[in-house]
Amino acid sequence: MDEFLTSLGMTIEFHAFDAVNLGRIAQLINKTNQFNLTTRRYTQSEVKTMSRSPDCLTFQIRLRDRFGDNGVIGVVVARKKDAIYDIDTWLNLPSHRVTALGRKELGQDRNIVGPIAE
C-alpha cells in the first residue's frame, strides 16, 4: 500500500480562503456530513466574513497527484479564543486517496494549525 501511495506523488497544500474558491468552500461546509463532527453550516457571505476576520484562521486544503489537481478537498476554520485557536470546522472529502494521504502524511504531525498560524 505504501508503495502505491508513494507512486501517486500526492502533495497536500494549505492556502488561505480566496475569492475564487469561496463558493466551493461554502459548498463543502454545507454538504459534507461525513467527517463533520460539529455539523455547523455557514453561508458564502459568512465564509467571506470569517476569511477577513483577524480572529479566524481559514484554510482550504488542496490535493494534487500524478493524475492532476483534485481541487479543494478540505476546509479548516479555527477561531481565536484568548491566546489559542479552537478548531471550529475541519472537513475533508472522503476519498480513498485523501484518507490514505491523511493517515500517511497528516498523521505524522497532528498539530498542523499551530505551525501554519505562526
- Estimate the crossing angle of helix 44-52 against helix 22-31, to 10 degrees: 120
The CA–CA distances, whole Å, from 118 to 57, 105, 113 equal 11, 20, 9
CATH architecture of 2-103: 3-Layer(aba) Sandwich (3.40)
- Boundaries of every domain in the chain: 2-103
Residue that wins the pLDDT comparison between 62 and 97:
62
The yes-or-no verdict on residue 32 having pLDDT over 60 is yes
What is the share, in percent, of the chain residues with pLDDT greater than 90? 34
- Chain segment 40-73, per-residue pLDDT in tens: 899 999 999 999 999 999 999 998 888 888 889 8
Give residue 99's pLDDT: 54
DSSP 40-79: ----HHHHHHHHH-TTEEEEEEEEEETTEEEEEEEEEEEE
Backbone angles phi, psi at 88, to 5 degrees: -85, -45
